[in-house]
Amino acid sequence: MLFYLINRTKTVKALRRKAGYTATEMAMQLQCETTAILAIDSLPLRGVDQGLRERLIAVFKGGKPKY
């Protein structure tokens, strides 16, 4: 929850780069298409739907996403 409150206005691309992931690596972690990651790259974290946001936060914090 604290991670979300601090980073909710940052874009997904900025958070992804800070974590050291490329779009392809992030897609592999989340088991989705690379185009889906590229589509949400310009959105702030709060603009992503809740299901995907929870999975993204888990990866950004260094864990495995829950499916």
Reported as a single tens digit per residue, the pLDDT across 55-67 is 998 898 887 766 6
Q: What is the pTM of this model?
A: 0.83
Give residue 24's pLDDT.
Answer: 95
Cβ-contact 44, 11 below 8 angstroms: yes
Which bin fits 38, alpha (ψ -120 to 50), beta or left (φ > 0)?
alpha
